[in-house]
Structure 1
Amino acid sequence: MTATTDPALILHRWLSPAYPVGAFAYSHGIEAAVAEGWLTNADQTGAWLRDVALKGAGQNDAILLAAAWRAETPERLAEIAALASALAPSANRRLETEAQGAAFARTTAAVHGIALYPAPYPVVLGRAARLMNLPLEMTLRLFLLAFLSNLTSAAIRLVPLGQTDGQRILSALEPLCAELAATAAPSDLDALGSCAVMSDIAAMRQEVLTTRLFRS
């Protein structure tokens, strides 16, 4: 990375919906939650996303990203990647993280000329940020906001919600993104844990829906 490159611009580009990782294809179980009648309005959706961020994949992926950013050896990075895959509560949630990670690695390696290999999305993103000398906490904040933005976009289509409701939800979640980033940055893998049970159940049920719009 050259001295004139703005880290924020790189991260915004990487985490933009235009970056070809296919994030739009994944609802993280929201599709099944709507089908079950668990999400019917903006308030329920906002609470659901807060739980996913604070007690589920949001927190865990942030910790995994930070660990990958700090990893000093290929062996350590491989251990983190294996753990990230094992933490996925369903086959399609594993697909969600691994397919996006592979797409991110492929594109980012080609664009920036850095050595990246397929791994779960937060792991390969953390590694790329380290190789490009991007600040860890900034990477975490923007990653979390992008994750929640994608799920909000899915909810807008599925619940359905209005665009303004979607932006209200995201605005309310912005402080949580900053808090989780600050907590995850110094955390080690012992801090991993999840109790977003309904989200995990929804991810499993989504796999057997008769009609599906999303891959997770």
Structure 2
Amino acid sequence: MSATAQPLPAASLLQLIWLASPALPVGGFSYSEGLEAGVDRAGVATESIAADWLSDQLHLSLARGDLAVIARAIPAWRSGELDKVKVLNDWVLQTRETSELRLQAEQMGRSLVEWLRNHRSVSDTHIDACAKLPPTYPVAYSLAASALTASIADCLAAYAFGWAENMVQAALKSVPLGQSAGQRILSRLAAEIPAAIAEAMALAEHERQAFSPMLAILSSQHETQYSRLFRS
């Protein structure tokens, strides 16, 4: 953000913080996105390894996939380009490489749409259009964010930080780690999020990707893991 950037109005800032909150009732806390399988099978056993794992996931997966989708979907919702929204939503569904990752995207998307029906910040027309997709979480989040006066970069920052908080909590429970270790990892991720946002916003349509083969393998193994805390 440049030194001359205007601050968000307080109401929009609070709404953005609300969207990023792990307390938002969409179920994000119940997923580890393959991390739990990484602990069980890939040696994610220390603070340092967990931090590296999440940093890689931020840059190799989130930035090139979900964040890039949101960067395109927010202006599409704002301009009423529903056909483009559907294409983006279909891309998310088609690139979720395992059953549990797809179910996560769908469940969190449905839950956020239901939250929006009660929140009344988005038009009923757009909510109904989103519900019919059916929505994935990045696309439903884009709809929620499109109603705010926040910039796309600010909306991506909120999404990425919400993801980081959920993933750090997953690391605390599954590695396991202490609270201080979790805060150090979160500090590292927060420092790296601006670069991930810049990468996501710079990607052309044909450059967006979701290619994380080891993560997909671990997620597949997690589906039948003998004992687990998380749904993915």
Aligned-partner Cα distance in 1 for 2:138–2:159: 8
Q: 1:57 aligns with which of 36, 59, 62?
A: 62
Contact 1:51 1:196 in 2 (8 A): no
Report the TM-score when normalising by structure 2: 0.86
Deviations 1:18-43 (A, max 9, x none): 11000011010111111115200001
Contact 1:68 1:123 in 2 (8 A): yes
Deviations 1:141-180 (A, max 9, x none): 1111111211110010010011110110110111221111
Are 2:99 and 1:91 aligned? yes
SS of equivalent residue, structure 1 residue 6: helix
Q: 1:15 aligns with which of 13, 20, 23?
A: 20
Q: 2:165 aligns with which of 141, 149, 169?
A: 149
Q: 1:109 aligns with which of 112, 117, 127?
A: 117
Contact 2:32 2:231 in 1 (8 A): yes
Counterpart position of 1:125: 141
Moved more, 68-77 or 17-26: 68-77
- Report deviation, 1:189: 2.4
- Report deviation, 1:181: 1.4
Aligned-partner Cα distance in 1 for 2:159–2:41: 29
Percent identity over the alignment is 27
SS of equivalent residue, structure 1 residue 155: helix
Deviations 1:177-215 (A, max 9, x none): 111112323533222124433222211111011222211
Counterpart position of 1:206: 222
Compared CA separation, residues 48 and 74, structure 1 to 2 (3 A): same
Contact 2:20 2:161 in 1 (8 A): no
Across the aligned residues of Structure 1 and Structure 2, the Cα RMSD in angstroms comes to 1.8
- Report deviation, 1:113: 4.4
Report the TM-score when normalising by structure 1: 0.92
Q: Counterparts of 1:157-168 in structure 2 under 5 Å?
A: 157-168=173-184
Contact 1:64 1:189 in 2 (8 A): no
Deviations 1:63-120 (A, max 9, x none): 0111111214111111110101111111100111111111111102321242322411
SS of equivalent residue, structure 1 residue 94: helix
SS of equivalent residue, structure 1 residue 109: helix
Aligned-partner Cα distance in 2 for 1:4–1:155: 34
Compared CA separation, residues 13 and 205, structure 1 to 2 (3 A): same
Q: Which runs of 5+ in 1 are unaligned?
A: none
Contact 1:63 1:191 in 2 (8 A): no
Q: 2:156 aligns with which of 140, 156, 162?
A: 140
Between the two proteins, the alignment pairs up a number of residues equal to: 214
Compared CA separation, residues 134 and 108, structure 1 to 2 (3 A): farther
Aligned-partner Cα distance in 1 for 2:64–2:199: 9
SS of equivalent residue, structure 2 residue 149: coil
Q: Which runs of 5+ in 2 are unaligned?
A: 1-7
SS of equivalent residue, structure 1 residue 18: coil
Q: 1:70 aligns with which of 56, 75, 78?
A: 75
